[in-house]
Amino acid sequence: MAATVPVTVAAILVAAGSGQRLGADVPKAFVRVAGRTLLEHAVGRFAAHPAVDAVVVVAPAAELAAAAELAAELAGPDVTVVPGGATRQESVARGLTALTALADGVAFVLVSDVARPFVPATVVSAVVAALRDGAVAVVPVVPIHDTVRQRGESAALGAVVDRSSLVAVQTPQGFRRDVLVEAHAVAAPGATDDAMLVEALGHEIVPVPGADESFKITTPADLARAEAVALLSAASPPRSGGPS
């Protein structure tokens, strides 16, 4: 992480999920994969990226001290840990507030889910590059490979949807900071995606290629996949994050 230049890119890592769907007895951020918590995997990747100047972790309020200790080991003084809210939207808003106190000079904000702990550096670089090229909001996307159908009103399935026109959205989502702050200030409660809030202001959302490794860990089956990804990552040389 850059330590001698102004903070221009900050990452807000949302880690306040309960992990109930995982069947875990700890918050999701503290579930371990390949010997490390999801929080450690996520913070480590963003803190090591050359374009990311500061990291804000939004953690479960009851686990704030533990989250701060883990994050500080990986990111040092460039990480701030704050308690999350009752919803993801509230948690991101708290991260933005903490960012304001941390550094007023931040131009761009990346918002990512700790439940996606294996985001490749190349994806972070693509999001940052698009922002620096003038985009207001950027999201990584991947094609949908499964056949998709509409639900019928009865038990029968409806029509097949043309999947060539569909993509799955991932994180980190990147934003011009002032626009994201405005979007949260005027948004109604209940949003699960920050790009939706910015789009509601009339801004275009620019897509960049996502990655299969950026899948979201939601179910116990996802944990098995995550173990495989972690082992492959450990066995492979790190890929360049590209220019910062």
Residues 69, 49: contact at Cβ < 8 Å?
Answer: no
Q: What is the pLDDT of residue 102?
A: 72
Q: Which residue is associated with the tokens 């807000």?
A: 12
Tens of pLDDT along the chain (244 residues) come to: 444 445 599 999 999 877 677 777 888 999 999 999 999 999 999 999 999 999 999 999 999 999 999 988 887 667 899 999 999 999 999 999 998 877 678 999 999 999 999 999 999 999 999 999 999 999 999 999 999 888 877 778 888 989 988 999 999 999 999 999 999 999 988 888 999 999 999 999 999 999 999 999 998 899 999 999 988 876 554 454 544 4
Taking CA atoms, 62 is separated from 47, 59, 65, 76, in Å, by 24, 8, 8, 22
pTM of the predicted structure, to 2 decimals: 0.90
Structure confidence at residue 7 (pLDDT): 59
Q: Which pLDDT score is estimated for 37?
A: 94
Contacts 24+ apart (CB under 8 A), 80-88: 80/54, 80/55, 80/56, 81/56, 81/57, 82/56, 82/57, 82/58, 83/16, 83/58, 83/59, 84/14, 84/15, 84/16, 84/58, 84/59, 84/60, 85/16, 87/189, 87/190, 88/14, 88/16, 88/192
Please answer whether residues 137 and 206 qualify as being in contact, where contact means their C-beta atoms are separated by less than 8 angstroms.
yes
Q: Please report the pLDDT score of residue 244 as a whole number.
A: 40
CATH of domain 9-235: 3.90.550.10
Q: Which pLDDT value is given to residue 79?
A: 87
What local confidence, expressed as pLDDT, does residue 231 receive?
A: 84
- Every domain of the chain and the residues it spans: 9-235
Crossing angle of helices 177-186 and 88-102, in 10° steps, is: 130
pLDDT at residue 5, rounded to an integer? 45
107-125: b or e for each residue (b if 16 or more CB lie within 10 Å)? ebbbbbbbbbbbbbbbbbb
